[in-house]
Amino acid sequence: MKKRGLALCALAALLVAAVLSGCGNNLYFAGRNLPPSGIANRVLIAIQNPSSFSKGELQIVDAYYDIRQSYNDRIPGFTIAGYSGSEPSTIQNMPEEQLGAVYGSGDGSFTQVNYQKESNGGAIATLGTLSASIFVTRSQDYVFAADQQAHFFTLVNKLTAKTYSLGLPNVYRVSTNPGGSVALAFVENSNYAYYARLLQSFETTAYSGGPSTWPPNAVDCEPMNAPGACLFEIADSNHNPVQFDRPIKALWSADGSTAYILNCGPECGGKQSSVSLVPTAPLILQSGQQSGSVPTSPTTILTPGGASNGLVDTNTLYVYGEQPQPDGLFAGFLTAINLTNNTAGNAIAVSDAAPGQPTKMVLADDNTLWLGGVRCEQGERYAKGEPYGCLTMYNTSTNSVTLLEPFQGDLTGIAAVLTLHKVYVAEGGQVYIFSTTDGSAINNFYVAVTGTAFDVAYMDATTDADNTDY
């Protein structure tokens, strides 16, 4: 009876869509067209090795009914047509643009997904080698990638169809602001950060004589004989490098004027975790648009709970990280920073994660923040026999923590299905669903996948902030 009820509700929804279509309007949300699947609340799942014949698949499930099949069971499942990447590992979710960008760690593919057509939108860029971190700007004009093996920061200018491989040994993270006007690079086991800049023609001429003709803080300019782009070390007006403490990532203020650079500290082999506030105006990608200078000693806010990931919510910066414990293991903590007065609150114990490894954070319904990472069973909680699931629900209104257990494997993806009071997660290679009202598990039987689920994204979110972690 329950299944029949769901079918009737789904049929009613499709009838409404059909009426709209008959009136010359096939819109279902914010002016968006109803996709071919007819599903209005879609979660995209990046699946590795779904069969012996394929190393990657992008599957769509109905997040309203939590099913993979059509309401009438006539269509057993929906996928992104034409996708052929190997081992898809990250989804850069851009629902405002009706696009997604999927990186395949098996072959280095970076593929655009057309959300409206539910089909492969073609290669975003051809990089040739694997990237430890990669993003495309919302405008689709630029791609930034960290090639840790070849030691290149890669900048793809799609407007001019030019690619620049800028030398930066051990580069392993890139960050870009949502508008794509600033691109930063971070090096493993380093206390310095870098920014990219495209050159004007007169600069190309001036810098064509090699390193001796480059500005003092230039790390590399390419191509050497007529450079079109350079990578610079973040330095003050006197070209003195600004020293951080194992910088790993940058977040951005709501007005775009400030970069919040996360200093990983002890988690990454440094001394003190913190957040450094750096003006973005001197770091702008397009030459000739810069203004001001980077201060010699940027404002720095100490974070008692570590700082390897973060999320900005209006006037609060939530920082997630790991801190070493007396027994040598690491424990996970969340720190809330008040951005109106730049003060950090106390560290709040949350799920552990592997030090310095990518973690996930997303805001969801019911004033909840969801976060987690990989290898939580190697942390302090497991060693002490405490609950050690890799996923935490934190209520930003009551400051209460709910540790989701039991341990189900590495947490590699979280998507907030906004207005439906649920989140989808990729954990231990499988898809799970949780309620944002109390953290309880929702039946995932009809969305379980064959293969390894590695990332999830809510395709019909209202904003790119849902599961897009620049």
- Specify if 413 maps to a domain: yes
**What whole-number distance in Å separates Cα of residue 253 and Cα of residue 298?**
15
pTM for this predicted structure: 0.92
Please report, for residues 189, 324, 407, the alpha-carbon distance to residue 245 in angstroms, rounded to integers and kept in the order given.
9, 16, 32
Asked if residue 436 lies in contact with residue 365, where contact means CB atoms within 8 angstroms, the answer is yes
- Specify if 19 maps to a domain: yes
* CATH (domain of 203): 2.130.10.10
Quick one: pLDDT at residue 13?
A: 46
**What whole-number distance in Å separates Cα of residue 80 and Cα of residue 367?**
32
**135 contact partners, CB below 8 Å, separation of at least 6:** 92, 101, 143, 144, 145, 174, 175, 176, 470
pLDDT exceeds cutoff 50 at 6: no
**What whole-number distance in Å separates Cα of residue 150 and Cα of residue 162?**
19
Quick one: pLDDT at residue 8?
A: 42
For 265, phi then psi, to 5°, come to 60, -135
For 376, phi then psi, to 5°, come to -65, -20
Quick one: pLDDT at residue 73?
A: 81
Poorest-pLDDT segment among 3-7, 41-45, 156-160, 299-303: 3-7
How many domains does one find in the chain? Answer: 1
* pLDDT one-digit tens code per residue, 133-169: 999 999 999 999 999 889 999 999 999 999 999 999 9
- Specify if 463 maps to a domain: no
Quick one: pLDDT at residue 27?
A: 64
**40 contact partners, CB below 8 Å, separation of at least 6:** 13, 28, 29, 34, 64, 460
* pLDDT one-digit tens code per residue, 269-325: 999 999 999 999 999 999 999 999 999 999 999 999 999 999 999 999 999 999 999
Quick one: pLDDT at residue 177?
A: 93
Burial environment of residue 130 by CB neighbours within 10 A (0 to 12, 13 to 18, 19 or more): middle
Quick one: pLDDT at residue 70?
A: 85
Poorest-pLDDT segment among 22-36, 249-263, 388-402: 22-36
Q: Is the dihedral of CA 332, 302, 469, 461 positive or negative?
A: positive
**What whole-number distance in Å separates Cα of residue 464 and Cα of residue 459?**
9
* pLDDT one-digit tens code per residue, 163-208: 999 999 999 999 999 889 999 999 999 999 999 999 999 999 999 9
Asked if residue 275 lies in contact with residue 262, where contact means CB atoms within 8 angstroms, the answer is yes
Cis peptide leading into 247, omega within 30 of 0? no
DSSP output for 71-113: TTSSS--EE-BT---SSEEEEEEEGGGTEEEEEETTTTEEEEE
Please report, for residues 347, 350, 424, the alpha-carbon distance to residue 7 in angstroms, rounded to integers and kept in the order given.
47, 40, 22
Give the confidence band of 9 by pLDDT, cuts at 50, 70, 90.
very low
Q: Furthest-apart CA pair in the chain: how many Å?
A: 77
Quick one: pLDDT at residue 29?
A: 67
361: nearest Cα among 399, 307, 407:
307
Question: What percent of the chain stands above pLDDT 70?
Answer: 93
Could you tell me the two tokens for 303?
């974070």
* pLDDT one-digit tens code per residue, 388-443: 999 999 999 999 999 998 999 999 999 999 999 999 999 999 999 999 999 999 99
pLDDT average, residue stretch 15-35: 58
Asked if residue 308 lies in contact with residue 268, where contact means CB atoms within 8 angstroms, the answer is yes
- Specify if 414 maps to a domain: yes
**Which residue shows structure tokens 């996970």?**
332
**What whole-number distance in Å separates Cα of residue 426 and Cα of residue 462?**
21
Quick one: pLDDT at residue 348?
A: 97
- Specify if 469 maps to a domain: no
Query: Which range marks the domain in which residue 278 is found?
Result: 2-458
Q: Return the SS3 of 406.
A: coil
- Specify if 468 maps to a domain: no
**What whole-number distance in Å separates Cα of residue 113 and Cα of residue 104?**
13
Single-letter residue type at 31? G
- Specify if 201 maps to a domain: yes
- Specify if 464 maps to a domain: no
Could you tell me the two tokens for 202?
């007169």
